[in-house]
A and B are shown apart, each in its own frame.
Chain A
Amino acid sequence: KQEVTQIPAALSVPEGENLVLNCSFTDSAIYNLQWFRQDPGKGLTSLLLIQSSQREQTSGRLNASLDKSSGRSTLYIAASQPGDSATYLCAVRSGGTSYGKLTFGQGTILTVHP
């Protein structure tokens, strides 16, 4: 059974810092890994999707890496801003199914203070 863990559970940083969020998964037989952002009381917004054959994806100040063999992914946020404050979730789409089941981590609550 696939299990996804995110560390740390919460992170508070001053504006302008670069930061790294971590995601680990137990079964390396994945199709892809997706990073989401969730604002309080809202749904999830997809940030980046890394296919299993890829090592990283970039979008603006965000860079996500994937090391499938070790079961790890990181989300790097450069020059953090207060508007980046949210919960960040990672999810993996595991192999062996056709319907695209995602297994989610518990999330990292990020606070960027001015």
Chain B
Amino acid sequence: DGGITQSPKYLFRKEGQNVTLSCEQNLNHDAMYWYRQDPGQGLRLIYYSQIVNDFQKGDIAEGYSVSREKKESFPLTVTSAQKNPTAFYLCASSIDPGQGLHQPQHFGDGTRLSIL
């Protein structure tokens, strides 16, 4: 089955620690996205990538970093500089919007990050 796999489902971070969230897709999508979801708020864009080896900051990129070395993978690192990392993190992918603006985004099942 084609889809997006996020791991782990739950993650705990200690003070001063960097943690990496995994996102893998087998939909052959060019574009991938990371969102953060907090209670009572909509999803907010952290980073996005339209093509391998290229990525751009979203609305709330501070304290986060990404890489896009392979088309299938878009890992997100939550660094110690992110002072309030507790949230639900969602990864999404889509056909390159440049090839058609009406391509829906497909989402993984998320990773819930908490602070120890």
A33 to B93, CA, bound (A): 17
Within 8 A of B (CB), among A78-114: 89, 91, 93, 98-107
Q: How many A-B residue pairs have CB under 8 A?
A: 66
A93 to B105, CA, bound (A): 11
Neighbour of A42 across the interface among B4, B43, B98, B110, CB < 8 A: B110
Question: Could you tell me the distance in whole angstroms from the C-beta of B45 to the nearest C-beta in chain A?
Answer: 6
Question: Could you tell me the distance in whole angstroms from the C-beta of A78 to the nearest C-beta in chain B?
Answer: 22
Inter-subunit contact A43/B108 (CB<8 Å) = yes
**Cβ of A31 < 8 Å from any Cβ of B?**
yes
Inter-subunit contact B110/A106 (CB<8 Å) = no
Inter-subunit contact A34/B104 (CB<8 Å) = yes
- Say yes or no: A46-B104 contact (C-beta < 8 A), given A105-B42, A106-B40: yes
**Cβ of B48 < 8 Å from any Cβ of A?**
yes
Question: Could you tell me the distance in whole angstroms from the C-beta of A102 to the nearest C-beta in chain B?
Answer: 7
Question: Could you tell me the distance in whole angstroms from the C-beta of A40 to the nearest C-beta in chain B?
Answer: 11
A16 to B40, CA, bound (A): 27
Neighbour of B31 across the interface among A42, A45, A91, A100, CB < 8 A: A100
Question: What residues make up the interface of A, taking CB atoms closer than 8 Å to B?
Answer: 4, 31-32, 34, 36, 41-46, 49, 51, 89, 91, 93, 98-107
Question: What residues make up the interface of B, taking CB atoms closer than 8 Å to A?
Answer: 4, 6, 31, 40-45, 48, 50, 56, 58, 90, 92, 94, 97-98, 101-110, 112
Return 28 A-B CB contacts under 8 Å, by A number.
Answer: A31-B101, A32-B101, A34-B105, A43-B4, A43-B110, A44-B43, A44-B90, A44-B92, A44-B107, A46-B104, A46-B106, A49-B104, A51-B102, A89-B42, A89-B43, A99-B31, A99-B50, A99-B56, A100-B94, A100-B97, A100-B101, A101-B45, A101-B48, A102-B45, A104-B42, A104-B44, A105-B42, A106-B40
